[in-house]
């Protein structure tokens, strides 16, 4: 799994002119899934995201997690995170999982993040044409790949 994590003051995702999820202070997480991903990756990545210390403490140092600042997480699937760009100018998405594998993992990730946060997690709709709006705070953007755990 690959995640692009952005610290935001607000973010929302819209499908067919309907907002499917929105948050104020927190994290927008764009999630890419590949066929080799497992529930172990879900558990590890959810724990990493929810405990990542990228929010300022009272001294202005990034030393608090989204949980510690009582923030929220908006989770959006994004297969393009597995774009292969070495050859030519048209990206290949061969490594991105097809819906039959990716949808159950995406739904498990939403549940796991909700459990780790202790609250409902708003999300995009897998495979939909989504419009994502955000106000990146900092800007702070972190990329995590579960294949680089060690």
CA nearest neighbour of 15 among 126, 134, 97: 126
CB 56 within 8 A of CB 63: yes
CA–CA gap between residue 61 and residue 57 (Å, rounded): 5
User: Considering 36, 38, 39, 80, which one is annotated as catalytic?
Assistant: 80
> 80 catalytic, yes or no?
yes
Q: Give the list of residues 6+ apart from residue 69 with CB closer than 8 angstroms, or none.
A: 25, 55
CA nearest neighbour of 134 among 79, 93, 75: 75
CB 144 within 8 A of CB 48: yes
CA–CA gap between residue 38 and residue 58 (Å, rounded): 38
Both tokens of residue 91? 């990206």
- Residues marked active site are found at 80
């Amino acid at each position: 799994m690959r995640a692009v994590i952005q610290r935001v003051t607000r973010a929302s995702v819209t499908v067919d002119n309907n907002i499917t999820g929105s948050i104020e202070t927190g994290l927008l997480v764009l999630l890419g899934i590949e066929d080799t991903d497992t529930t172990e990756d879900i558990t590890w990545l959810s724990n990493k995201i929810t405990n990542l210390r990228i929010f300022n403490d009272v001294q202005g140092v990034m030393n608090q997690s989204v949980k510690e600042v009582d923030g929220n997480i908006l989770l959006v699937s994004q297969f393009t995170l597995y774009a292969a760009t070495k050859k030519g100018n048209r990206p290949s998405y061969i490594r991105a999982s097809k819906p039959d594998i990716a949808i159950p993992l995406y739904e498990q990730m939403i549940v796991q993040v909700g459990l780790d946060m202790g609250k409902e997690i708003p999300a995009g709709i897998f495979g939909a044409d989504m419009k994502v709006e955000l106000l990146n705070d900092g800007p702070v953007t972190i990329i995590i790949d579960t294949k680089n755990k060690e």
